[in-house]
Structure 1
């Protein structure tokens, strides 16, 4: 039986990855933060490094430390690393974003991510970067989309930027399945593989229109109070770090799925209608959903 070690198994991507690998018949080990990762990785075929500093805390110091730890574990065990990557690296480069897009970050966290990926590439260990947009799942745990949909049961959706701005999203059950399928073909991939997970691209208006189509109800948009984040930034680290990434909510963007289409030609992602239906059910609005419209 193939073995995967998941670092960050209690987090957003890591928890979904652990479930997806288990469902595919892998033996799943969960790394305990603060222990010897190289020791935990003994006998592992794949290491999923989904570990991040919580709440964007001290990224400049902690992300390189986590990266070095994962590289050492992969080198000691011979395992392939699978790392969920972000769109922070691209700044405001022309879209769609893909492996050939210049990495010119316009934020501190983007620069940290660029260096992180350079360290993985230079390490010589086999690495698969699985790059996704904003995370979303069925439990509403995601920082941005989870907050945006907290008022869904009351007919409200929060916008962090322009309501008509199309943005890249990664539905985590799909992205985790992609990680499993990439693990299965890892021997045929380049030593360093940068694979964008195109996922879904939609605007707040698109999502509202889908909610209304599925439920027959009307929803309204509220605005995220960025002014409060600016006021709190001097004393609240998370507010400061979130404010730095505000530009991504006003910048139309999407990921180029051509590389993944070549590697996994039969992979199917969940459509916006089904994802929207999942969110309505989570909000306790299942009775309003028209099943025929989900399938249409």
Structure 2
């Protein structure tokens, strides 16, 4: 029997990786094209919908509820399972530590509340849903995430820029691994709860530990420098993304990790890519030109 998945947002970071992972697993992959497709027609013959639509932060309030309501209705038409890339915004500020399926969703900030409402809508709809929850992304190509835009651009010069406290845990997910997990969960969807919340543990790293691993990967001495948030603060009145970046800044200063307990129950054989191999595929190519005669090490400084 043909297994068919519809990818919404197939050109984005999660959607692109999901399409690759499903194709590698032998699925028929349909990439939704907003310019010519309608959702109600596109879902026919589909068993799984990957909802990777993700508008810019400043459009979340206006667009996210309606987009997901449309997906819920489309999934209900064909009894499809919806895979939603979840994040850690739902937990809120001041609620750090290890987050799992029992951790309450206490976010009161605007973006966190939108994500809470989104997940509640799926839970209450009765549509079969898998929320695959992850931390910040590591991608194999530049895709506008924190790592490739802010942290890694100066690695070829031996500088790793970090946007928060460098000595506390932070949750990361390597997108090819995350999307392999999505495929494996999709393939056992009939065994799952109607609404399944699956935290993806990925890698838990402080800025200091990541700098050490990057030194090993690149063969360079890495200087760890803290990002200067002042330009974003000054841009707040006229750059509409700035207020939302500042709103979520707390995640860089609150230690957190995602529990792998539920994933281990559902996918006990799942193997994560070794960290150094994942990092080697995410850093700018120029950073991997190992200097000769130099012992890699990391140092910590501040701007």
1:161-172 alignment runs, 5 A limit: 161-172=164-175
- Contact 2:219 2:288 survives alignment (8 Å): no
CA distance in 2, matches of 1:48, 1:79: 10
Q: Which residue of 2 aligns with 1:103?
A: 105
Q: Could you tell me which residue of structure 1 aligns to residue 249 of structure 2?
A: 246
1:123 and 1:144, CA in 2 relative to 1: closer, same or farther beyond 3 A?
same
Which residue of structure 1 aligns with residue 31 of structure 2?
A: 30
Quote the offset at 1:230 in angstroms.
Answer: 1.1
In structure 1, the residue matched to 2:89 is 88
- What's the TM-score once normalised by structure 2's chain length? 0.91
Which secondary structure state, in structure 1, belongs to the residue aligned with residue 117 of structure 2?
A: helix
Q: Pick the structure with more helix per residue.
A: 1
For the residues of structure 2 that align with 1:246 and 1:146, how far apart are their CA atoms?
17
Partner SS state of residue 58, structure 1: helix
Secondary structure class of the residue paired with 1:217? coil
What is the alpha-carbon distance in structure 1 between the residues aligned to residue 166 and residue 209 of structure 2? 9
Name the counterpart of 1:263: 266
Q: What does the per-residue CA deviation read over 1:215-244, in whole Å, with 9 as the maximum and x for residues that have no partner?
A: 442111233231111111121111111111
Matches within 5 A, 1:1-296: 1-33=2-34, 35-53=37-55, 55-91=56-92, 92-147=94-149, 148-280=151-283, 282-287=285-290
Contact preservation (8 Å) 1:46, 1:79: yes
Alpha-carbon offset, residue 280 of structure 1? 4.3
* SS at structure 1 position matched to 2:171: strand
List, as ranges, runs of 4+ consecutive aligned residues in structure 1 with deviation greater than 4 Å: 286-289
> Which secondary structure state, in structure 2, belongs to the residue aligned with residue 44 of structure 1?
coil
The answer for unaligned runs of 5 or more in structure 2 is: 297-303
SS of equivalent residue, structure 2 residue 258: coil
Select between 33-42 and 43-52 the one with higher mean Cα deviation. Answer: 33-42
SS at match of 1:113: helix
Q: How many residues align structurally? A: 289
Deviates more, 1:107-116 or 1:279-288: 279-288
Query: Following the alignment from structure 1 to structure 2, what is the Cα–Cα distance between the partners of residues 168 and 263?
Result: 20
Aligned 8 A contact 1:52 1:66 in 2: no
Sort the Cα spacing of 1:288 and 1:3 in 2 relative to 1 into closer, same or farther, 3 A: farther
Distance between the aligned counterparts of 1:3 and 1:286, measured in 2?
A: 41
Residues 280, 286 of structure 1: 8 Å contact kept? no
Name the structure 1 match of 2:299: none
State the distance in 2 between where 1:260 and 1:214 align.
28
Post-superposition CA distance 1:36-93 (Å, at most 9, x none) = 212111110100001011x313211211011101101101121100000010000132
Task: Write out per-residue CA displacement over residues 99-124 of structure 1, whole angstroms, 9 at most, x where no aligned residue.
Answer: 10010004210000000000001111
Is contact 2:72-2:122 (8 Å) kept? yes
Distance 1:158 1:273 in 2: 18
Following superposition, the deviation at residue 284 of structure 1 comes to: 4.6
Say which structure, 1 or 2, has more relative contact order (CA 8 Å, 6+ apart). 2
TM norm structure 1: 0.93
Classify 1:12/1:279 alpha carbon distance in 2 versus 1 (closer, same or farther; 3 Å).
closer
Task: Evaluate the alpha carbon distance shift between residue 224 and residue 268 of structure 1 in structure 2; reply closer, same or farther with a 3 A threshold.
Answer: same
